[in-house]
Chain A
Amino acid sequence: MADHQLFQDTIAAISTAVSESGIGIIRISGPDAIAAADLVYRSPGGRRRLHDAASHTIHYGFVHDAAGEIIDEVLVSVMRAPRTYTAEDTVEISCHGGILAMRKVLDAVLRCDQREEASCRIHVRAAEPGEFTKRAFLNGRIDLSRAEAVMDLIQAKNEFALKNSVSQVRGMLFQRITELRRQILYQIAHIEASLDDPENLDFAPGLEEFRKELEGWQQSLSHLIRTAEDGRLAAEGIRTVIVGKPNAGKSSLLNLLLGEDRAIVTEIAGTTRDLLTETIHMQGITLLVTDTAGIRESRDIVEQIGVARAKKSIDEADLLLWIVDSSVPLDENDRRVAALLQRHPSVILLNKTDLEEITTKDHVCALLREENIQSDARMIPFSARKGSGYEELTKVLKDMFFHGKLSFNDEVVVTNTRHKLLLEEALASLKTVGESLEQGMSEDFFSIDLMAAYQALGSIIGEEVGEDVVNEIFSKFCMGK
Chain B
Amino acid sequence: MARVILEEYVDVVIVGAGHAGCEAALACARLGLETVLFTMSVESIAMMPCNPHIGGSSKGHLVREIDALGGEMARCIDHTFLQSRMLNRSKGPAVHSLRAQADKAAYSARMRRTLERQEHLQIRMQEVTGIITDETGTLTGVTTISGTIWHCKAAVLCTGTYLNARCIYGDVSIPTGPNAMQAAGHLTDSLKEHGIEMHRFKTGTPARIDGKTIDYSKMTRQDGDIPVIPFSFETDPSEVQIDQVPVYLTHTNEQTHQLLRENLDRSPLYSGKIKGTGPRYCPSIEDKVVRFSEKPSHQVFVEPQGRDTDEMYIDGMSSSMPEDVQVRMYRTVPGLEHARIVKLAYAIEYDCINSLQLTETFEFRKIHGLFSAGQFNGSSGYEEAAAQGLYAGINAAMKILGRESLRIDRSEGYIGVLVDDLITKENNEPYRMMTSRAEYRLLLRQDNADMRLLEKGYRAGLVPENRYQRFLEKKRRIEEEIMRINKLTVGASASVNEFLSASRSTPLSTSATMAELIRRPELDYQKTSAIDPDRPCLPEDVQEEVNIEIKYEGYIRRQKKQVDQFRRTEHMRIPEGIDYDLVPSLRNEARQKLKEIRPASIGQASRIMGVNPADVSVLMIYLKRNSSISQK
The residues of A with any CB-CB pair to B shorter than 8 Å are: 8, 128-131, 134, 137-138, 140, 144, 147-148, 150-152, 154-155, 157-159, 188, 192, 195-200, 439-445, 447-448, 451, 464, 466-467, 469-470, 473-474, 478-481
Contacts known (A134-B617, A155-B585); A195 close to B435, Cβ less than 8 A: yes
Q: How far is the CA of A110 from the CA of B281 in the complex (A)?
A: 43
Check if B535 is an interface residue, CB within 8 A of chain A.
no
Contact between chains at B425 and A467 (CB < 8 Å): yes
Check if B594 is an interface residue, CB within 8 A of chain A.
no
Name the CB-closest residue of B to A192.
B436
| Chain B residue contacts of A198, Cβ below 8 A | 57, 87-88
Q: Mind listing 18 A-B residue pairs with CB under 8 Å?
A: A130-B617, A151-B584, A151-B617, A152-B584, A152-B585, A154-B614, A154-B618, A154-B621, A155-B587, A157-B614, A195-B95, A196-B435, A199-B87, A199-B301, A469-B436, A478-B295, A478-B298, A481-B301
Q: How far is the CA of A137 from the CA of B282 in the complex (A)?
A: 50
| Chain B residue contacts of A440, Cβ below 8 A | 521
Contact between chains at B620 and A481 (CB < 8 Å): no
Shortest beta-carbon contacts, A-B, top 4: A158-B614, A151-B585, A480-B282, A474-B280
For chain B residues 419-470, which have a beta carbon within 8 Å of chain A? 425, 434-437, 439, 441-442
Contact between chains at A481 and B282 (CB < 8 Å): yes
| Chain A residue contacts of B584, Cβ below 8 A | 148, 151-152
Contact between chains at B620 and A134 (CB < 8 Å): yes
A-B contact count (CB 8 A): 129
| Chain B residue contacts of A192, Cβ below 8 A | 434-436
Contact of A144 among B87, B301, B613, B625 (CB under 8 A): B625
Contact between chains at B57 and A195 (CB < 8 Å): yes
A106 CB, min distance to chain B CBs, angstroms: 20
| Chain B residue contacts of A200, Cβ below 8 A | 299
Q: How far is the CA of A195 from the CA of B315 in the complex (A)?
A: 18
Q: How far is the CA of A62 from the CA of B69 in the complex (A)?
A: 59
Contact between chains at A447 and B436 (CB < 8 Å): yes
B564 CB, min distance to chain A CBs, angstroms: 9
Q: How far is the CA of A144 from the CA of B521 in the complex (A)?
A: 57
Name the CB-closest residue of A to B565.
A9
Check if B94 is an interface residue, CB within 8 A of chain A.
yes
Contact between chains at A137 and B57 (CB < 8 Å): no
Q: How far is the CA of A15 from the CA of B407 in the complex (A)?
A: 41
Contact between chains at B442 and A144 (CB < 8 Å): no
Contact between chains at B434 and A470 (CB < 8 Å): yes
Q: How far is the CA of A467 from the CA of B92 in the complex (A)?
A: 24
Contact between chains at A154 and B92 (CB < 8 Å): no
Contact between chains at B92 and A470 (CB < 8 Å): no
* Most central of B92, B288, B298, B315 by chain A CB within 10 Å: B92
A478 CB, min distance to chain B CBs, angstroms: 4
| Chain A residue contacts of B434, Cβ below 8 A | 192, 196, 470, 473
Check if B609 is an interface residue, CB within 8 A of chain A.
yes
Check if B580 is an interface residue, CB within 8 A of chain A.
no
Contact between chains at B316 and A147 (CB < 8 Å): no
For chain B residues 227-280, which have a beta carbon within 8 Å of chain A? 249, 279-280
Q: How far is the CA of A442 from the CA of B555 in the complex (A)?
A: 13
| Chain B residue contacts of A147, Cβ below 8 A | 621-622, 624-625
Contacts known (A151-B585, A151-B622); A478 close to B292, Cβ less than 8 A: yes
Name the CB-closest residue of A to B94.
A444
18 further contact pairs, Cβ within 8 A, besides A192-B436, A195-B91: A130-B614, A134-B617, A134-B621, A140-B628, A144-B629, A151-B585, A151-B618, A152-B584, A192-B435, A198-B87, A199-B301, A200-B299, A445-B92, A470-B436, A478-B298, A480-B316, A481-B301, A481-B315
Check if B612 is an interface residue, CB within 8 A of chain A.
yes
Contacts known (A129-B614, A195-B435, A481-B299); A444 close to B91, Cβ less than 8 A: yes
B269 CB, min distance to chain A CBs, angstroms: 15
Check if B411 is an interface residue, CB within 8 A of chain A.
no
| Chain B residue contacts of A481, Cβ below 8 A | 51, 282, 299, 301, 315-316
